[in-house]
Amino acid sequence: MEECSIKAQDLTKQFGQLTAVDHVSFCVKPGEVYSLLGPNGAGKTTTIKMLATLLQPTAGEAWIKGHSILREPHMVRRAIGLVPQDLTADDELTGWENVVIQAKLYGFRGVEAERRAKEALDFMGLLEAAQRRVSTYSGGMRRRLEVAMSLVHSPEVLFLDEPTLGLDVQSRRHLWGLIEELRRQGKTILLTTHYMEEAEALADRVAIIDHGRIVAEGSPEELKSRIKGETIHVRLRDPGQTIALAEKLSKELGVDAEAKGDTVTVRVKSSAETLPGLVQVVSGMPVVEIRIVKPNLEEVFLELTGRGLRDEEFDVFKFRVMARRVRR
């Protein structure tokens, strides 16, 4: 048990009929960044809440630095820092006040509480903004403040629940840099995300989670090596022609081609080899886009579950297209 900073064993949570987390087991080694990657509703937040002793498991057990979440919740809470998905900083207070209060909640007094608050704010690049009310902060600053709050008691284990949810690319990259720095300091980090780029950029190992179950685990490289070759997506203006195109591509190029919606997906060993022939076959057809996808974690998820990591965002897109049609 000692070689895992975080160990979950058959962790399970039932909400009525729904099994939100279903016998989840994993081990995060000291100093490792481990990511739970999965779509909305996969059970990531529920898992983190159980590990952070905020939610009682229905079954299973977990240990943080050897302390049982069931029998030693107090020890667990001292060992961890938590950045929850639903942010907790008080909008009406300044950043400084929020972090000092947090330090006092952990039992630090006077000068020591202030020293810790200053150090955490400085580390997260918030010293200048510390005297401003949180209500004036940008999304990125709020997230950084939450991380500062989670650091005041110098925990060795950090739980980051979708730390960059909804942030723009620049703020996301800034936060990634700071998480990298925390790793260099030797923190053990459990990070949940539905952004595959985030898991790829930060995690030593990734567990892909879907419907409460871990469906695959490994380093990003190991997971991607499950996908053989590359994928070419050919999108047509007329969805009625995709089936015919898929058949034609299979027949003439001997490739594995599948029609879905307005797109034909072709799996190949090397896109560079296949592309010239493919372009000849599709010439004269109403092609909107040809896109080449090298193996990434999104593809791994698709392969394992038959769905995308962010299906709901595709739905928003579809909705917009529909709305446009209705308006016309």
Ligand X SMILES: Nc1ncnc2c1ncn2[C@@H]1O[C@H](COP(=O)(O)OP(=O)(O)O)[C@@H](O)[C@H]1O
The beta strands (E) that lie in the chain are given as 6-15, 18-28, 33-37, 59-64, 67-68, 80-83, 157-161, 188-193, 205-210, 213-218, 230-236, 256-260, 263-268, 287-293
DSSP string over 246-305: HHHHHHHH--EEEEETTEEEEEES-HHHHHHHHHHHHTTS-EEEEEEE---HHHHHHHHH
Reading across the β-sheet that carries 213-218, which strands appear in turn?
80-83, 157-161, 188-193, 33-37, 205-210, 213-218
Candidates 44, 143, 144, 183; binder of ligand X (CB under 6 A) is 44
Q: Is 45 in the site for ligand X (CB under 6 A)?
A: yes
Q: Is 84 in the site for ligand X (CB under 6 A)?
A: no
What tokens appear for 122 in the block?
Answer: 């400085």
Q: Is 305 in the site for ligand X (CB under 6 A)?
A: no
Half-sphere exposure at residue 136, Cβ-oriented, CA atoms within 13 angstroms: 9
Q: Is 164 in the site for Mg ion (CB under 5 A)?
A: no
Beta strand 33-37 pairing with 188-193:
parallel
Q: Is 43 in the site for ligand X (CB under 6 A)?
A: yes
Q: How far is the CB of 142 from Mg ion (least distance, A)?
A: 17
61 strand-pairing partners: 9
Candidates 45, 94, 231, 271; binder of Mg ion (CB under 5 A) is 45
Looking only at residues 58 through 97 of this chain, which bind Mg ion when binding is defined by CB under 5 A? 85
Q: Is 55 in the site for Mg ion (CB under 5 A)?
A: no
Task: Name the segment binding ligand X (CB under 6 A); options: 40-48, 59-67, 224-232, 319-327.
Answer: 40-48
Task: Name the segment binding Mg ion (CB under 5 A); options: 28-36, 40-48, 145-153, 301-309.
Answer: 40-48
Q: How far is the CB of 19 from ligand X (least distance, A)?
A: 9
Tell me how far apart the alpha carbons of residues 226 and 300 are, in angstroms, rounded to a whole number: 7
Task: Name the segment binding ligand X (CB under 6 A); options: 34-42, 116-124, 179-187, 314-322.
Answer: 34-42
Q: Which is nearer to ligand X, 21 or 33 (CB)?
A: 21
Q: Is 42 in the site for ligand X (CB under 6 A)?
A: yes
Q: Which is nearer to ligand X, 54 or 287 (CB)?
A: 54
Q: Which does 219 bind (CB under 5 to 8 A by kind): ligand X, Mg ion, none?
A: none
- Token pair 């300091």 is found at 185
Q: What are the residues binding ligand X (CB under 6 A)?
A: 15, 18, 20, 38, 40-46
Q: What are the residues binding Mg ion (CB under 5 A)?
A: 44-45, 85
